[in-house]
Amino acid sequence: MYAFWNILSFLIAGGALAYAVILFRQIMRKDQGDAAMQKIAVAVQTGGRAFLHAEYKWLAIFVAVVFTLLCFGRAEQFLGIKTAIAFLMGATASASAGYFGMHCATRAAVRTTQAAKTSLGAALDIAFKSGTVMGMTVVGLGLIGITVLMLAYRDATTNFANYVLGFSFGASSIALFARVGGGIYTKAADVGGDLVGKVEAGIPEDDPRNPAVIADNVGDNVGDVAGMGADLFESYVGAIISTAIIGWSLVPTTLTGDAHADAMSSLLMYPIVLSAVGIVASFLGTFRVKADDESKLSSALFGGLIAASVFLVIGGALVTMLIQPQPLRAVGSTEQIGHWSVYLSMVVGLVVGVLIGKVTEYYTSEKMAPSQTIAQQSQTGAATNIIYGLATGMASTWIPTLLLAVAIYLCNHLAGMYGICVAAVGMLSTLGISLGVDAYGPVADNAGGLAEMSHQPPEVRKRTDSLDATGNTTAAIGKGFAIGSAALTALALFSAYKVEAANEALRVGQVPPDLGLDNANVVMGLLVGAMLPFVFSSMAMKAVGKAANAMVEEVRRQFREIPGLKEGTGGEPDYARCVAISTQGALRQMAAPGLLAVLAPILMGMVFGKAAVGGLLGGATASGVMMALFMANAGGAWDNAKKYIEAGHLGGKGSDTHKAAVTGDTVGDPFKDTAGPSINILMKLMTIASLIALPLFA
């Protein structure tokens, strides 16, 4: 049955990819508008490609080095060629998903603008399809990679999912640099371009005279499409593989022979098959997303997500009956857990994921109290705007944290460590559509920018604006969801670390590490771990500052040296130069935080051992979740407080209140688009790096 379910899942994952290709072709067949629009679109497409090419060139070196190092490892320590190949596949799959998703998004944006000339429904159709291409590519490539490796590495005597973990490690490595690099890129262009364009030269946002405007548009795609995709790709595969690793370790020892093999298969297959069901559910859900007028937009998108969730709950029940996964409560225990308890853990994960997204919407929406309070506090100046924004971000941690705590408590009661891992899988299983809903946002945003730059009539701009406004809401939900799923995935991976750290110790004849808080090494690790997200965020924020400064210099230079550019009387801006500067800035600045994430746990392990690393991972996850929520939600709330004022409240655009709100928004940019989301990866990557490097630890 193991092979059967894996092959079936493989086929479904292949179907997801096929669906992505069909949607992409449908998009490409649409009208891409007039010459002015196409010219801008081509510039964005070229810029995006240039960044990814440059980034991937550096990443190829990193991947080659790690691949070689992994090859030298010993197979019985879950290193060696098997892990190396899985690593290479994971890196390639993640990079390909990012590349294809962005390729599609930059082509869909201009067609969305063109479709907006006809109707809102037609424009939504293209933008959402482009998002779905990203979503289906991520789940398709992710599940194909996992099923292939789970079949190829199948072995009756070792916990072979540990080799497959290489796939997750590969995905994580790409994700870190994509998120950090993409985050630096997008904000360097945005902040740098605005500082000179809007503030110094006095030309409006998205004005084609600004040389950084193309880099800014490229940045949206690099950060919000490729970066977000890589982030969730990592969560998706990390959750599935850690569930499989835990599953193997919890096979009932009371069973023997075929019964034992069946039990093992069921525990390893279950997360994979659930994810396959999630793909089908997401596919069905996408057909619910249709809207003709603005009022129905939000409910259409959210309706699709809910429909997919309902399908998953039904389909999940069916496969639970067929597969009947029944782990032991804990290693060494004889108490077996019922398969419906495992199923319920999945449902808990699914529900908590949706709820965390909704809480994020509350804290960041301009229709809700927190963001409006920040707007009101802007009346007494930038300082009170900042104080309330920071306070709102800090306060926003409490409900998501309690939701996560409840999920951990319930799932642990239902099905132990395995239940917590399955909850992460459940949360992420409808990623095909939830990432679609999320990645639709930047396409709509870019379509609006294109309409502005190519001087489309007001009704076109109005339609793209309403798409964009809804996109901001779904993006907020998506960000909360990304953090929640990263936290749960990090915990699932952490569970795998704890199990494997004990196993590795037993393998070499040591006592299992004492992960108790009464062990001073764990407490030491806990403090160091809690410190890392702070230092990492600091580095990311300063990196944006440095890259933005380089952009400022360049834009000033062009305004100075290209005659007639600023006045709009002639002179073409050199977009490519700005794209190159953002690219170089991002690549140069992403190295240090990236290496910190990989090296910190490995160094800690080599010097102080497995228990200290356990503490470090616990501390980093705990403080990382808070920092991610704090920064993402403060940034979102500042952004929408500004938009609330721009909509005409409290004096509207141009007032002193508005100026104060703009300050908050600028502070929020590196918070919500660079440092905050990068922490998602930090939490996961550190845990995976620790798992891989376990044999090196003292």
Measuring CA to CA, which residue among 198, 177, 191 is closest to residue 219? 191
d(CA 502, CA 513): 6
Q: How far is the CB of 556 from a copy of itself (least distance, A)?
A: 12
Is 606 an interacting residue with respect to a copy of itself (CB under 8 A)?
A: no
Per-residue tokens: 436: 């679609």
**Cβ closest to a copy of itself, residue 360 vs residue 377:** 377
d(CA 533, CA 618): 12
Judged by CB under 8 A, the residue of 193, 208, 219, 416 near a copy of itself is 416
Q: How far is the CB of 371 from a copy of itself (least distance, A)?
A: 15
Residues 203-232 that bind a copy of itself (CB under 8 A): none
Judged by CB under 8 A, the residue of 92, 298, 397, 655 near a copy of itself is 397
**For residue 256, is it left (φ>0), alpha (ψ between -120 and 50) or beta?**
beta
Helix (H, G, I), strand (E, B) or coil at 508: coil
Is 498 an interacting residue with respect to a copy of itself (CB under 8 A)?
A: yes
Alpha-helical (H) ranges within 324-430 are: 339-364, 369-377, 382-395, 398-428
Measuring CA to CA, which residue among 37, 479, 449, 386 is closest to residue 218? 449
Is 379 an interacting residue with respect to a copy of itself (CB under 8 A)?
A: no
Per-residue tokens: 274: 């659930």
Is 318 an interacting residue with respect to a copy of itself (CB under 8 A)?
A: no
Is 654 an interacting residue with respect to a copy of itself (CB under 8 A)?
A: no
Please compute Rg for the chain using Cα positions: 24
Q: How far is the CB of 612 from a copy of itself (least distance, A)?
A: 9
Is 518 an interacting residue with respect to a copy of itself (CB under 8 A)?
A: yes
Work out the end-to-end distance of the chain between its first and last CA atoms, rounded to an integer number of angstroms: 40
**Cβ closest to a copy of itself, residue 418 vs residue 440:** 418
**Cβ closest to a copy of itself, residue 73 vs residue 416:** 416
Judged by CB under 8 A, the residue of 41, 93, 515, 602 near a copy of itself is 515
Is 517 an interacting residue with respect to a copy of itself (CB under 8 A)?
A: yes
Judged by CB under 8 A, the residue of 347, 622, 661, 681 near a copy of itself is 622
Stretch that binds a copy of itself, among 253-261, 353-361, 613-621, 650-658 (CB under 8 A): 613-621
Judged by CB under 8 A, the residue of 134, 245, 530, 602 near a copy of itself is 530
Residues 417-436 that bind a copy of itself (CB under 8 A): 417, 420
**Cβ closest to a copy of itself, residue 90 vs residue 238:** 238
Residue 135 near residue 439, CB atoms below 8 Å: yes
Is 666 an interacting residue with respect to a copy of itself (CB under 8 A)?
A: yes
Residues 157-196 that bind a copy of itself (CB under 8 A): 195
Residue 209 near residue 199, CB atoms below 8 Å: no
Strand partners, 328: 336
Q: How far is the CB of 327 from a copy of itself (least distance, A)?
A: 14
Judged by CB under 8 A, the residue of 453, 667, 685, 693 near a copy of itself is 667
Residues 230-269 that bind a copy of itself (CB under 8 A): none
Helix (H, G, I), strand (E, B) or coil at 565: coil
Is 382 an interacting residue with respect to a copy of itself (CB under 8 A)?
A: yes
d(CA 220, CA 222): 6
Judged by CB under 8 A, the residue of 27, 477, 625, 689 near a copy of itself is 625
**Cβ closest to a copy of itself, residue 242 vs residue 621:** 621
Residue 677 near residue 231, CB atoms below 8 Å: yes
Is 643 an interacting residue with respect to a copy of itself (CB under 8 A)?
A: no
Judged by CB under 8 A, the residue of 145, 223, 618, 676 near a copy of itself is 618
Judged by CB under 8 A, the residue of 98, 619, 636, 676 near a copy of itself is 619
Give the relative orientation of helices 458-507 and 161-194 as an angle to the nearest 10 degrees: 140
Measuring CA to CA, which residue among 288, 297, 282, 255 is closest to residue 123? 297
Q: How far is the CB of 447 from a copy of itself (least distance, A)?
A: 28
Give the relative orientation of helices 369-377 and 656-670 as an angle to the nearest 10 degrees: 120
**For residue 654, is it left (φ>0), alpha (ψ between -120 and 50) or beta?**
left
Q: How far is the CB of 621 from a copy of itself (least distance, A)?
A: 8
Question: How far is CA 510 from each of CA 207, 514, 610, 687, rounded to the nearest angstrom?
Answer: 65, 11, 11, 22
d(CA 641, CA 419): 39
